Amino acid sequence: MVSIATKIFTYKDYQLEYIVIGSGEKQVLAFHGFGRTAEDYNALKSLKDKYTIYSFNLLHHGNSKFLTDKQVWTKADLKELFEAFLHQHKIETVSFFAYSLGGKVALCLAELLPKKVNELFLMAPDGIKINVWYNLVTKFWLTNVIYKHFIKNPKPVHYVARFLKAIGLLDKRIYKFAYHQTNSKHKREMVYKTWMTFRELNPDLTVVAKNINEQKITTHLFFGKYDRIISAEIAHRLTDKLNDNFQLHILETGHDLVNEKLDEYIKDSLFVI
């Protein structure tokens, strides 16, 4: 895959790195998942003539970072940051593409900037249901200390996880995903920093649904049939609040969704393309 030249947007405490994909009339802000990159959205080749995609590296990914000692991304800052980006690029309305962790950003922006949003494409989005472990580590002193110890010495936790997998108490796919995200000190530190930074970006689904209904925001939710990380079973937490302006798509895959298979599905199945 040919790498696309990155651009930098700076505003107050924040530096966001992004790339521009496609040259279509519709404007998109795209947000990847944890440990992924802005270039993931290059896989959606069928969208490049219809959309101009501004694909961002999330904080602690690539060259996106805080420019000060700030550690938490608040909703107020998120709103102000992307209002400034849209104003600078003279964009009136946008669609959002968001996968996994990026779903928190897109859902919060749908809550905060409803009149700016045309469409939501949410792929296994985080933010519909709060992860129990995420909450424990970011909200409570004791579990925060335990995780910091895990960063330095992961062997006991990995041993217990392997044992639970062996006796059938831990799903093999969950184990594989968790181990892959924590099998180096750099990754464990990145998990911790990212979780702490995103801990206040919890969308109010009642407000999000109200905005989707009132603004008639076309919404597509994509889940992998075999996903054990963010399961399709949680979708009802949002869809139960919506009118008829959404579509739920269940794909024959796991958690890895932003790829050529998704591109083929969108090209063949969605009326908007």
Q: DSSP label at 191?
A: H
User: 55: number of CA atoms within 13 Å, CB side?
Assistant: 28
The pLDDT value recorded for residue 162 is 82
Q: Is the pLDDT of residue 186 over 60?
A: yes
Residue 273 — pLDDT band, cuts 50, 70, 90?
very low
Q: Residue 77: how many CB atoms within 10 A of its CB?
A: 17
The first and second tokens of residue 270, run together, are: 């969605």
pLDDT tens for 241-269 read 999 889 999 999 999 999 999 999 998 88
Q: Is the pLDDT of residue 271 over 60?
A: no
The pLDDT value recorded for residue 127 is 94
* Average confidence (pLDDT) over 170-188: 77
* Average confidence (pLDDT) over 139-159: 70
Q: CA–CA separation, 186 vs 244, rounded Å?
A: 44
Residues 6+ apart with CB under 8 A from 133: none
The pLDDT value recorded for residue 189 is 86
pLDDT tens for 63-97 read 999 999 999 999 999 999 999 999 999 999 999 99
Average pLDDT of the chain to the nearest whole number: 89
Q: Is the pLDDT of residue 149 over 80?
A: no
Share of the chain above pLDDT 70, in %: 90
Q: Is the pLDDT of residue 2 over 70?
A: no
Q: Residue 36: how many CB atoms within 10 A of its CB?
A: 19
* Average confidence (pLDDT) over 228-248: 93
Q: CA–CA separation, 233 vs 248, rounded Å?
A: 11
* Average confidence (pLDDT) over 54-60: 98
Closest to 30 in 3D by CA, of 68, 1, 69, 4: 4
* Average confidence (pLDDT) over 5-22: 96
The pLDDT value recorded for residue 134 is 62
CA 17 to chain centre: 16
CA 231 to chain centre: 14
The pLDDT value recorded for residue 35 is 92
Residue 1 — pLDDT band, cuts 50, 70, 90?
very low
* Average confidence (pLDDT) over 140-160: 71
CA 179 to chain centre: 20
Rounded to 10 deg, the angle between the 172-182 and 155-166 helix axes is 170
pLDDT tens for 192-213 read 899 889 999 999 999 999 999 9
The pLDDT value recorded for residue 166 is 81
Q: CA–CA separation, 27 vs 95, rounded Å?
A: 6
Burial class (CB in 10 A: 0-12, 13-18, 19+), 71: exposed
Q: CA–CA separation, 127 vs 101, rounded Å?
A: 8
pTM: 0.90
* DSSP string for residues in 92-114: --EEEEEETTHHHHHHHHHHH-G
CB 188 within 8 A of CB 154: yes
CA 51 to chain centre: 19
* Average confidence (pLDDT) over 36-53: 95
The pLDDT value recorded for residue 141 is 60
Residue 15 is inside which H or E element, if any? strand 14-21
Q: CA–CA separation, 151 vs 111, rounded Å?
A: 34
The first and second tokens of residue 34, run together, are: 């944890």
Higher pLDDT, residue 271 or 167 = 167
The first and second tokens of residue 67, run together, are: 């420019």
Residue 138 — pLDDT band, cuts 50, 70, 90?
low
